[in-house]
Amino acid sequence: MSEPVRPKVIDLSHWDPADDYGRVADDGILGVIYKATQGTGYTDDTYVDQQKAAKAAGLLWGAYHFADGADVNSQVANFLSYAAPDPDELFCLDWEDNPGGTKMSVTQVKQWVENVEDALKRPGQCVIYAGNTAKEALGNKVDPWFGSRRLWLCQYGSTPVWQASWKTWWLWQFTDGVYGPSPHTVDGVGPCDINSYKGDDAQLMAEWADGTAEPSPAPGPGMANVHLNVTTSGEVAVSVAVNGEVIYGDGEA
Do 75 and 32 belong to one domain?
yes
CATH number for the domain harbouring residue 135 = 3.20.20.80
In the chain, the number of structural domains is 2
Mean pLDDT, residues 182-197: 98
Residue 136 DSSP code: H
Least confident range from 177-181, 203-207, 225-229: namely: 225-229
Shared-domain flag, residues 131 and 156: yes
Residues 74, 111, single domain; the answer is: yes
Residue 212: inside a domain: no
Round the CA-based radius of gyration of the chain to a whole number and report it: 21
Cα distances from 66 to residues 63, 94, 98, 212, in angstroms, run: 10, 5, 9, 24
Q: Quote the DSSP letter at residue 138.
A: H
* Burial of 72 from C-beta contacts in 10 A (0-12 / 13-18 / 19+): buried
**Pair (132, 253) in one structural domain:** no
Q: What is the mean pLDDT of residues 189-198?
A: 98
227 and 183 co-located in one domain:
no
**Domain match, 62 and 147 both:** yes
The model's pTM: 0.84
- 213 in a structural domain: no
| Segments forming the whole domain that contains residue 248 | 218-253
244 and 127, same domain (yes or no): no
* Residues 196 and 242 grouped into a single domain: no
Whether pLDDT at 231 is above 60: no
